[in-house]
Amino acid sequence: MVPFRLQFTLSRRQRLAVELMPWLPAIAASLGFMVGAAFLATSASPRFLFLLLIPPLVYRGLVSFVFDLVVRGGLLVEVSVDETHCEVVTRGARRKLALAGIFQVFRADETWTVLHLDGSVLTVPVDAITREQVEYLKSFAQRAAVARALPG
């Protein structure tokens, strides 16, 4: 079974479901700030319209994510798994994750989601991974659960 390699493309919808969640507080704060700035601009002075430039400057990552999602859409992902590590490559960015850090593997609709202790989230379409490969990744989450349950 080990090692195995996966190559798949995440659709816009799959990316949006995973990558938008961390940005929700920033979106809420930006909307509130922009409504306040627009109110000041209409009630007090049009000079307050310049305040509308602050959220896009502060949250450049959100702006680039939305631009990337609209322009490029799908995201090509390559995953290589060996006995101890999982390496994820997306658009030239390479992350190496210890398999011992996997703490949850679950299925949601048409994707499998793998959660890692460092905050990484790996989303894999159901048709891109076999049941045996999923069970191999789940075994690390089960070992972590047993280790947490042991006293001491």
> What confidence score (pLDDT) does residue 1 get?
59
DSSP element (H, E) containing 148: helix 131-149
In this structure, what token pair is assigned to residue 137? 């990744």
DSSP element (H, E) containing 91: none
- CB-CB neighbours of 99 under 10 Å: 20
Using only C-alpha atoms, the chain has a radius of gyration, in whole angstroms, of 20
Separation between Cα atoms, residue 152 and residue 124, nearest integer Å: 35
In this structure, what token pair is assigned to residue 143? 């070992």
In this structure, what token pair is assigned to residue 30? 């930006």
Q: What is the pLDDT of residues 9-45, one digit of tens each?
A: 988 888 887 788 888 899 999 999 999 999 999 999 9
Q: What is the pLDDT of residues 43-80, one digit of tens each?
A: 999 999 999 999 989 999 888 888 888 888 788 999 99
